[in-house]
Each structure stands twice: as C-alpha cells, then as structure tokens.
Amino acid sequence: MADLRNPRAFVTVPRQKEHERPVLERVHDFREVTTALDDSSLREQASRCMDCGIPFCNQGCPLGNLIPEWNELVRRGELDLAARRLVETNNFPELTGRVCPAPCEGSCVLSLENAPVSIKAIERMLGERAREAMRVDRATPSPGPPCSVPVHRVVVVGSGPAGLATAQQLARSGHAVTVLERDDRLGGLLRYGIPDFKLEKGVLDERLAQLRMEGVVFETGVDAGVDPTGSELLATFDTVVLAAGARKARALDLPGASLAGVELAMDFLTQQNRRVAGDTIEGRALLATGKAVVVLGGGDTGADCVGTAIRQGAKSVLQLELMPRPPLVRAPSNPWPEWPLVLRSSTSHDEGCARDWAVSTRAIIGDAGHVTAIAAVRVDLVSGAMRELEGSRFSIPCDLVLLAMGFAGPEPGLIEQLGLETDERGNVRTTAAGETSVSRVYATGDMSRGQSLVVWAIADGRRVAAGVLASVSRAAVARDIIPKRA
C-alpha cells in the first residue's frame, strides 16, 4: 500500500476506477457490470485528494457533498464516520454511487490533468457501508429536529429519486407523507428506466423498505390526475408535491416513424426490466434478438438500449448521434471546472457497439409495414445550425429502431387540472423553494427542471422539502401555534 500520509499522493498514486466484470461474462446476464474496489485501494485513492482551499468538487456536486471531508476520513480508515458524513447531504448514496456520472470529478482540480480523484468509487463504497448500517439499524436516525408544528399531511406524486428524497426529508421531520405511484412497483425511472446491469433492483428495494420504516406510506397503481384528480388531492392533503418526472418522449416526426419495429427507448427498457423482475410479458414482445438494431440518440438512455440489445442477442448494434463527435480532451471554450464536454464511453459501448456522429435521420424505410432501413444524411454544425453535407445521403439496413432522443417535458394531466404555470419548455414553473403558481402545490425534480440526473433529482427533492417545511413553519407562526419572538 502507498504511504497514506504522503501529501503528494496525488502525484505518486495513479487514479484507479472501479473494476468491471469481463465483457464475455457480463453480456450473458443482467447483473451489475461494475464491482467495488477493496477498502485498501479506496483508502489509497482517497489519499490523492488535495484538500483544496476551495473545494470545487463540492461545488460541482448538486448535493454539495462534503467530499474533501469524507475523503480525509477514508484515508485515515474512519470509514463508518465517513459514511455518516456522506448521508448528511445525500439521501441515497448507494444509488448515486452506481448511476451518477460524477460531475464532482469533472470539477476536481486533478481533472486538469484528466486524472481526478475517484470520488464516485469512494462514494459507492461509503454508500454500501451506509446500506449495511441501514440493515443493522433497520432505519437511520432522523438528521433534523423533531417536528415542532402539528403534523402536516403531504402527498408526493411520483416515486422517482426526487419524490423519494422529498418524502424522506418530510417524514424525518415528523410529517405524514403518502407517495402515489402510477406503476405497479416503486422507483420511477430508477425501477424501469435504468437497466439492472447498472442498478440491481434489490438495492432500491432495501432503501424503500427503510423509507417505509421511517413512516412513508406508498400506494402503487394510482394514476394521479385520473383517480384521484388534482382537486381531490388538494381536498385530501394539506400539501401536494408533484414529482412525476418529464416522461413525455420526444417524437420522431418523419415518414415511416409509425412502422412496426420503431420503438420508444423507455418502452424497450421497461419491458426488459420487467423480464428481469420475473414478470410475464403480455402483448407484443420488444426484443432485439437476432436483429440489426439502430439506436437514435447518443445519451445515457441510448447507451442503456445498447447494453440491453447486446444482452438480448442482437445481430448488430449501431448508435447514432445528431451532434458532432466530441473531442477527446477539453476544448478551450470548455474550461475547467465546467463539466467536460468530451467523448465518453459507457460499459455498454465496450461490449460490441458501433457508433457514428453528425448523422441526421431523414426517413424510416419499410416493407410490408415493418422497418427495413433508415435513410440518413451527414450534417455539420455551422453557427449553431445543422447543415446537410452535399452528396452524403446513405441508408442503414435494420430490423429494430430504438428512439432515445430525450424527453419533451412532463406528461399532461395534473398540470392542466391544477392550472399550473409552465415555462417555455413545458416544465412546471416554480420558485426557488419549489412553490408553483397554485397555493399548496409544489413541483420538484424533472417535472420542474426537465430531464436531468438522479443526483439533481435528489438535490431538488431536498430543496423542495425544505421549502415545504419553511411554509408549514410560517403558517404555524401566523396561527400563533408557535409563540412569536418578542
């Protein structure tokens, strides 16, 4: 082991990432791809932290995680104390340690040399220690003071990371929280949008069990906006928090888009997650087995489709991206500590996927009602606009097209029923505290931010829970429930 007292460990100790299971092994199952480093290796990695005077990593993390503090505790071997420090700011470190792209690492000073501290790997290890403590204690203690006002009845619509974080913070403050979920299982996109090879669902289930023990009430199969309606929610609860995400898929408005074999990425991923959970799939099976697959969209959802298609036994997988290929290193216009807009490859890309950039789809070609090819053209980004390159039209034979082009905002229903103001993108307009244009109604996560990261959703949930608590306290003062200070 390296000298853990060496103040220049960031020079002498090389960066180490989490281990990955061999490709030829992992493509035959849906178990998690990455495995944690051992404690000794992680202590070495923590020793690389420079303990900067200005912790840019802390500022790069939406949660404001106290990264230098728990890095130092890990270096010293005080792992349980480090885990406790982590859960002070992060409700679900066992989740972010697996699925977060680690904007903190992009802001690390060592990122200037493309070798940041392995913050995500350390966070995952600490998340696992917190998870083990959760098993032993059955419920972590409340981080805040006991409720000093009458119990408030809060309903949270949606059980994704924003809704769960909101619910946990409010329940730990002593309020009665009910979470309504439209699907048959809890977790939102954590459950059905993220493949098990990135997040095995037993990890999520353990956290949900803890929330239940902390007093959160969950109801599944409840389509808020249909039954109950928005007005019924307001009549039943003191506060309504909307955390239903931004799940309206961006449509492909092109000839042939309605052909069989052109599928939404989330439908494809959701069905496979249900298979892994042991569900019987009723109706049309969305499978890539033996097919030439084209994934439209170069983001994380597209990469998840790639890994899923490969595990299903696709004949070939090609991922297309409209934007130009990113550079390998930071461009001058993308200085540190901004998030580095560089070429990234996920574990799925390493499993046998072809990728192409600056490709625009012009039409879907079919035969007998089923997709057979994509008509495409190469483009160039000029002054912020896409320009077709002359003579670059081509076609790509395929049997399955997966649309992973992002999301267009929240789905209709409660927004219209409650008469909420929205922004130019269709997201719910809120104040910094999460308040909407309608009294007693808050919005959090993707529903107000737009599609974003799990870590941002947790941060938004905590922020809006604080807004609700502040509002409850103000109302209590106004009613003289809490004596006013002289």
The total number of structural domains in the chain stands at 3
CATH number for the domain that contains residue 358 = 3.50.50.60
Asked if residue 474 is part of any domain, the answer here is yes
* Residue of 66, 241, 219 whose CA lies nearest to 170: 241
Are 128 and 175 found together in one domain? no
88 within 8 A of 67, measured Cβ to Cβ: no
Lowest mean pLDDT across 5-14, 197-206, 379-388: 5-14
Decide if pLDDT at 307 tops 50: yes
User: Among 382, 403, 424, which residue terminates a domain?
Assistant: 403
Lowest-confidence region among 21-30, 131-140, 187-196, 364-373: 131-140
| 3-class DSSP assignment, residue 413 | coil
Taking alpha carbons only, the member of 287, 265, 128 closest to residue 200 is: 128
Task: Please check whether residue 185 is in contact with residue 191, taking contact to mean a CB–CB distance below 8 angstroms.
Answer: yes
Omega within 30 of 0 (cis) for the link into 93: no
Is 484 within the bounds of a domain? no
Identify whether 281 is part of a domain: yes
> Is 354 within the bounds of a domain?
yes
Residue 352: left (phi > 0), alpha (psi -120 to 50), or beta? left
- The pair of structure tokens assigned to 358 is 């600056």
- CB 27 within 8 Å of CB 310: yes
Q: Are residues 369 and 281 in the same domain?
A: yes
Higher pLDDT, 474 or 294: 294
Residue 484 DSSP symbol: P
pLDDT over 90 for what percent of the chain? 82
Tokens of 96: 């972010």
The tokens for 402 are 């997966």
Q: Which amino acid is at 110?
A: L
Greatest extent of the chain over all pairs of C-alpha atoms, in Å: 80
Residue 133 has pLDDT above 70, yes or no: yes
Rounded Cα distance between 391 and 474, Å, is: 66
Asked if 363 and 448 sit in the same domain, the reply is no
d(CA 97, CA 198): 10
User: Three-class SS of residue 78?
Assistant: coil
Query: What burial letters (b/e) apply to 426-436, b meaning 16+ CB within 10 Å?
Result: ebbebeeebbb
Question: Residue 90: which pLDDT band, with cuts at 50, 70 and 90?
Answer: very high
User: Quick one: pLDDT at residue 10?
Assistant: 87
**Positive or negative CA dihedral for 90, 407, 358, 269?**
positive
| pLDDT, mean of residues 137-156 | 67
Residue 2 within a domain = no
Least Cα distance to 289 among 267, 264, 308 occurs for 308
Phi and psi at residue 425, in whole multiples of 5°?
-95, 0
Distance CA 187, CA 196 (A): 13
Same domain, 319 and 297: yes
Pairing verdict, β 34-35 and 19-20: antiparallel
Same domain? For 99 and 178 the reply is no
- Same domain, residue pair 271 and 385: yes
pLDDT-above-70 percentage for the chain? 95
Average pLDDT over residues 98-113: 94
9 band by pLDDT with thresholds 50, 70 and 90: confident
483 pLDDT band, cuts 50/70/90, is: low
Q: Which residue has the tokens 């097919």?
A: 291
Q: Is 42 helix (H, G, I), strand (E, B) or coil?
A: helix
Q: Which residues contact 284 (CB under 8 A, 6 or more apart)?
A: none
Q: Report whether 82 contacts 66 (CB < 8 A).
A: no
Whether the CB-CB separation of 420 and 404 falls below 8 Å is answered with no
Q: Quick one: 266 and 398 in the same domain? A: yes
Question: What element of type H or E holds 25?
Answer: helix 23-26
With beta carbons less than 8 A apart as the criterion, state whether 244 and 158 touch. yes
Q: Which helix (H) or strand (E) holds 81?
A: helix 79-87
**What is the spatial distance between Cα 155 and Cα 236, in angstroms, rounded to a whole number?**
9
Lowest mean pLDDT among 146-160, 181-195, 218-232: 146-160
From start to end of 182-244, where are the E strands?
217-220, 239-242
Look up the domain containing 27 and give its range: 9-137
**Three-state DSSP state, 395:** strand
Per-residue model confidence as pLDDT tens digits over 216-248: 999 999 999 999 999 999 999 999 999 999 988
pLDDT category at 446 given cuts 50, 70, 90 is very high
Report whether the peptide linkage leading into residue 337 is cis, meaning its omega lies within 30 degrees of zero.
yes
Average pLDDT over residues 197-225: 96
Look at residue 480 in the predicted model and tell me its pLDDT. 65
Of the candidates 369, 403, 437, which is a domain's last residue? 403
Give the model confidence (pLDDT) of 310-350 as tens digits.
Answer: 999 999 999 999 999 999 988 889 999 999 999 999 999 99
Residues 284 and 392 in one domain: yes
Q: Does residue 375 surpass a pLDDT of 80?
A: yes
- Whether residue 270 sits in one domain with residue 237: no
Q: Are residues 360 and 471 in the same domain?
A: no
**pTM, rounded to two decimals:** 0.93
Is residue 486 scored above 60 in pLDDT? no
Helix and strand totals (H; E) in the chain: 18, 16
CB atoms closer than 10 angstroms to residue 391 = 7
Does position 46 have pLDDT exceeding 70, yes or no?
Answer: yes
Q: Are strands 316-321 and 217-220 parallel, antiparallel or unpaired?
A: unpaired
CB 446, CB 452: distance < 8 Å:
yes
Residues near 48 by beta carbon (within 8 Å), at least 6 away in sequence: 9, 10, 13, 15, 110, 117, 118
**pLDDT for res 178:** 98
Q: And the tokens for 77?
A: 């071997």
Q: Are residues 414 and 443 in the same domain?
A: yes
Dihedral sign from CA coordinates of 369, 370, 372, 375: positive
* Residue 253 · residue 423 · CB < 8 Å: no
Residue 114's domain is classified under what CATH number?
Answer: 1.10.1060.10
- Kindly calculate the radius of gyration of the chain based on its CA atoms and give it in whole angstroms: 24
User: Do 157 and 204 fall within a single domain?
Assistant: yes
- Dist. CA 474–CA 484, nearest whole Å: 11
Output the pLDDT for position 479: 72
Q: By CB neighbour count within 10 A (0-12 exposed, 13-18 middle, 19+ buried), where does 251 fall?
A: exposed
pLDDT for 139 equals 46
